[in-house]
A and B are shown apart, each in its own frame.
Chain A
Amino acid sequence: MREVFLPRTLDELWDLLRRRPEAVIYAGGTDVLVKLRAGLIAASSLICLERIEDLQGVRDQGDEVYIGAATTHRTLLADPVIQEHFPILIQALSVLGSPPVRNMGTIGGNVVTASPAGDTLPPLYVLDAEVEVRWSDGAKRLPLSQFILGPGKTSLGPGQLLAGVWLRKSADYNVHHFEKVGQRKALAIAVVSLAALLKVSDSGRIDQVRLAWGSVGPTVMRSGEVESALEGRVISRETLDQAAALAQTAVSPIDDIRASGAYRRTVAGNLLLRLINYAR
């Protein structure tokens, strides 16, 4: 039998990690327990984070918002602060997994799993999210893009915990857009996804733009080249076609069971065409 621990405080967690440095940590269990059962990971003991108060909930800190790592997707979807300031995250959360998966899965879990297809990740990248990493006698903050190193790889060291996610409120963008292409509507792992934040002027000109794609590379991909091609231009089919062609060369997708690399490349570009809906 593997022991399962449910610490109630971070102090209890640090104590456990000292005694059981090899323990596998999970929160919602929607990734870790699946991998454990499939034999993809081994665990001599497990630590579940769901009861640690410090890791729960959304805290409005003025210019910034702090989301505890063990906050479930369902809680975030219902949160008025997230709804008001980060609609792009709401859009992604509403197509993540399925209702019971959203009731169990957490934002910290989605980040630490570090799948290129993680639905919260493209929005978090364009929002310039930072993560807070804590350990028994310290803490640090770093950009999400430096925390995630590759598929399933993060910079978390032994004894360290992803404690939460920091988001900066911004009124810069008046378009929040997320779209996921999957093989079906629910329970779909992204074949390609696109998160786009735009500041569109009254005349339809793109004053600012931030783009991030999921599932087209080892991590979420951004492209300054495609952003530059859009910035300062009026939204039109021609502009978007040019950006789409650039995007198709900027991404580096692979073939897998869900789609071919060539298909992903095409879709990564074509998803930009949807921005025509925001033309004035």
Chain B
Amino acid sequence: MKINFILNGREIELTAPSDVRVVDLLREELELTGTKESCGSGECGSCTILVDGQSRLSCLMLAAQLQGREVTTIEGLADDAGRHPVQEAFVQAGAVQCGFCTPGMVLAAVDLLDRRPDPSRSEIREGLSGNLCRCTGYQKIVDAVEMAVHREEG
């Protein structure tokens, strides 16, 4: 089927089987491999993308559902001025170990800060609770989101 949607700020039209998973469409067809897949069943958050600004799991969405939506993947977060403040904070805080969970963590944090611009540390942990880090580097990830809050304030 023909699908029209906005991907990382650009209108695109493509033809794809309507039942292909969004994570596969992004990675295999569109070569946007920043979106990761780990569990494939909604438990890990690796495949998080933003759909109309809300974090969603691209392993549990089918291509047909993208019609008319606005999608942001990790590749679309930076702009001409540079990295998104959350990305910058992850770099500054050293919140990356193996990096596999990072795209999902960053997008979950962007969604959280959009809803709650000044979260407490426990609200940050709750906001990221759908994203697993198998390196267990959670402290620095939470540090990074806290840093992004203050960066955006400053």
Chain A CB within 10 Å — which of B18, B42, B43, B112 has the most? B42
Given A4-B64, A101-B57, A30-B42 contact (CB < 8 Å) = yes
Contact A4 B62 (CB under 8 A): yes
Contact string against A for B residues 49-79, beta-carbon threshold 8 Å, 1 for contact and 0 otherwise: 0000011110011111101000000000000
With a cutoff of 8 Å between Cβ atoms, the chain A residues found around residue B48 in the complex are 100
Contact string against B for A residues 222-254, beta-carbon threshold 8 Å, 1 for contact and 0 otherwise: 000000000000000000000000000000000
With a cutoff of 8 Å between Cβ atoms, the chain A residues found around residue B60 in the complex are 28-30, 33-34, 104
Q: Which of A1, A4, A6, A34 contacts B42 (CB 8 A)?
A: A34
Contact B42 A101 (CB under 8 A): yes
Contact A50 B65 (CB under 8 A): yes
B34 at the binding interface (Cβ < 8 Å): no
The CA-CA distance from A98 to B54 in the complex, in Å, is: 13
Contact A37 B40 (CB under 8 A): yes
Q: Which of B21, B45, B57, B65 contacts A6 (CB 8 A)?
A: B65
A38 at the binding interface (Cβ < 8 Å): yes
With a cutoff of 8 Å between Cβ atoms, the chain A residues found around residue B21 in the complex are 33
Contact A99 B19 (CB under 8 A): no
With a cutoff of 8 Å between Cβ atoms, the chain A residues found around residue B9 in the complex are none
B108 at the binding interface (Cβ < 8 Å): yes
Q: Which of A3, A48, A99 contacts B111 (CB 8 A)?
A: A99
With CB as the reference atom, state the residue of chain B lying closest to A185: B129
Number of residue pairs spanning A and B whose beta carbons lie under 8 angstroms apart = 80
Contact B130 A101 (CB under 8 A): yes
Contact A100 B55 (CB under 8 A): yes
Contact A100 B17 (CB under 8 A): no
Contact A4 B19 (CB under 8 A): yes
A2 at the binding interface (Cβ < 8 Å): yes
- Least CB distance from B47 to A in Å reads 9
Q: Which of A3, A28, A186 contacts B18 (CB 8 A)?
A: A3
Contact B129 A29 (CB under 8 A): no
B136 at the binding interface (Cβ < 8 Å): no
B41 at the binding interface (Cβ < 8 Å): yes
A187 at the binding interface (Cβ < 8 Å): yes
Number of interface residues of A (CB under 8 A): 27
With CB as the reference atom, state the residue of chain A lying closest to B41: A34
Given A37-B40, A100-B48, A103-B54, A46-B19 contact (CB < 8 Å) = yes
B119 at the binding interface (Cβ < 8 Å): no
The CA-CA distance from A98 to B45 in the complex, in Å, is: 9
Contact A48 B65 (CB under 8 A): yes
The CA-CA distance from A37 to B62 in the complex, in Å, is: 12
User: In chain A, residues 1-52, which have Cβ atoms closer than 8 Å to a Cβ of chain B?
Assistant: 1-6, 28-30, 33-34, 37-38, 46, 48, 50
With a cutoff of 8 Å between Cβ atoms, the chain A residues found around residue B40 in the complex are 37
Contact B56 A104 (CB under 8 A): yes
Contact B57 A187 (CB under 8 A): no
A159 at the binding interface (Cβ < 8 Å): no
Given A99-B127, A100-B56, A48-B64 contact (CB < 8 Å) = yes
Contact string against B for A residues 94-109, beta-carbon threshold 8 Å, 1 for contact and 0 otherwise: 0001111101100000
Binding site for B on A (CB under 8 A): 1-6, 28-30, 33-34, 37-38, 46, 48, 50, 74, 97-101, 103-104, 185-187
Some 7 contacts from A to B, beta carbons below 8 A apart, are A1-B19, A4-B19, A6-B65, A29-B60, A29-B61, A50-B65, A104-B61
